[in-house]
Structures are given as structure tokens and as C-alpha cells.
Amino acid sequence: MTAATAPAAALEVRDVVVRFGGHLALDRVSLTARPGEVTGLIGPNGAGKTTLFNVVTGLQAPQRGTVLLDGRDVTRLAPYRRARRGLARTFQRLELFGLLTVAENVELAASVRGRRRPGRSADEALELVGLRDLADVRADELPTGKARLVELARALATGPRVLLLDEPASGQSEAETEEFREVLLAVAGEGIAVVLVEHDVQLVMRTCSQVHVLDFGRVLAAGTPEEIRGNEAVIEAYLGAAPGVPA
């Protein structure tokens, strides 16, 4: 794909640095995500993937670097303002509103979007992830796997331009992961830029058009899944001969 035909990046992260005391969690990390594509972000535990999501969503202020949403600098904006500009995420550790029902969780997200921005209604979002039946269940009663789907539906109901998913398939069985992948591709097909953090390497390799590999806070490699799979450094640091990666 040449630069001329590539759509403008929906999310662009430039040279982000995050330091916790003496520990450099992110070291000049840059990343772009384009509409309509699923961009993978993988790396060993503690590489800085979640920290990068926190920087993008505004929960963690970077020491240096910029975050651009649709070309506009949002580095200093409060989290909720970024969300209103079309940024949505899910959490590695579930963050559902347990006091509310599944339907209310999603309705809340849709109501924040307002009528100005297009997006799914709460019902449509639930339909998409196949959880219509559970609409009236209190969210804190859900088993983990279903809860992950509700988080996805909730993020979708905000009508996002950019969707950050932090280990959405963890705690899901292979069959469930497969269904999840279908949803993901459908969502990307609507022109949403999806960034996927996942340790299920097979899922990442089969779904993403671009994959970035983080290690010790740095971008170790970036490229197509094939390039990444063949990359010695990545195999060494992360992939190993894991059963999830067909050779």
C-alpha cells in the first residue's frame, strides 16, 4: 500500500515517553492506526501496552510526546473529552458498571454520545455481540467472558472512530474467540480504527493488517503479520515456539 492511497491515520502516537520513578515504561513509542484496519499491538508482559492505552485515553500523562486523534493534538485533553471525540476502549481488568444492568451499561454509553454523532443504538450494539438475552441482567453477575463482550458493546455504543481493545479475548474459549473475531472484522469494516492488544497471537496474526511489537517500552518491530512472524528478535523476545503460532 503506498502512502498516497493510505487513508489518513485516525490515531497517531508520536514519541511518547512515560517514566515511573526510575523505570522507563515507554521509551519514544510511535504508532499509527488507520480507519478500517485492525492494528495489532503485542509484546511481553510489562512491555508497556496498557500504559500506552492509558496515555492515549488520558488516564496517564506522558512525560513527552503527542497523541493525535484525526490529526488533532489531544495530549492535554481530559479523558472524557477524548472520548467525545471518538475514542473508546475496553479494559484489561474488567470495568463494567456492576450496579447497572447490561442494557443500562450500554445505554449510558449511547447517551453520552448524544444524537450529534452517528453510532449504534444500545440495542444494536448488544445485538452485534449477541447479548440481547442478557439485557436485563445486572452486570456484576456476568461470568468473565460475557462481561468482556458487554464492555465491547459499551465501547461500540459510543460510536467510536478509534477503538482500543486491551486483551479482549482473555478468558474466552477458542469458539468464543472465533465469534469475537467476526465482530471485530465487522466493526473495522465500518471504518473504525481498531487497536488490538492480545496475547492470543493466532488471533492477532489472523486479524490484523499491521502489527507493532513492544518490548521494554520500545517498539521492537512493526510490519505485516508475516514480517513479524519471521522476525528473529520478536521470536526471541515474545513468540517463542508457542503453540498459538503455526510456523
Q: Which stretch binds another protein (CB under 8 A): 32-40, 44-52, 64-72, 222-230?
A: 44-52
Q: In the chain, where do the E strands start and end?
A: 11-20, 23-33, 38-42, 64-69, 72-73, 87-89, 162-166, 193-197, 210-215, 218-223
Q: Which stretch binds another protein (CB under 8 A): 32-40, 96-104, 180-188, 221-229?
A: 96-104
Partner from Mg ion, ligand ATP, another protein, none binding residue 192, C-beta < 5-8 Å depending on class: none
Burial profile 115-144: b = 16 or more Cβ within 10 angstroms, e = fewer: eeeebbebeebbebbebeebbeebbeebee
The 8-class DSSP code of residue 53 comes to H
Give the one residue of 49, 113, 154, 161 binding ligand ATP; rule: CB under 6 A.
49
Give the one residue of 88, 142, 155, 201 binding ligand ATP; rule: CB under 6 A.
142
**Least distance from another protein to the Cβ atom of residue 39, Å:** 19
Q: Per CB under 8 A, does 98 bind another protein?
A: yes
Query: How do beta strands 64-69 and 11-20 pair?
Result: antiparallel
Residues 6+ apart with CB under 8 A from 217: 18, 24, 25, 26, 27, 29, 47, 48
Q: Per CB under 6 A, does 50 bind ligand ATP?
A: yes
Longest dimension (CA), the chain: 49
Q: Name the residues that contact Mg ion, by CB under 5 A.
A: 49-50, 92
Size of the site for ligand ATP (CB under 6 A): 18
Distance CA 82, CA 79 (A): 5
Q: Per CB under 6 A, does 45 bind ligand ATP?
A: yes
Binding site for ligand ATP (CB under 6 A): 20, 23, 25, 43, 45-51, 92, 141-145, 171
Interface with another protein by CB under 8 A: which residues? 20, 23, 43-51, 57-59, 78-80, 83-84, 87-89, 91-101, 104-105, 107-109, 111-113, 140-146, 154-155, 158, 167, 170-176, 199, 201, 238-245
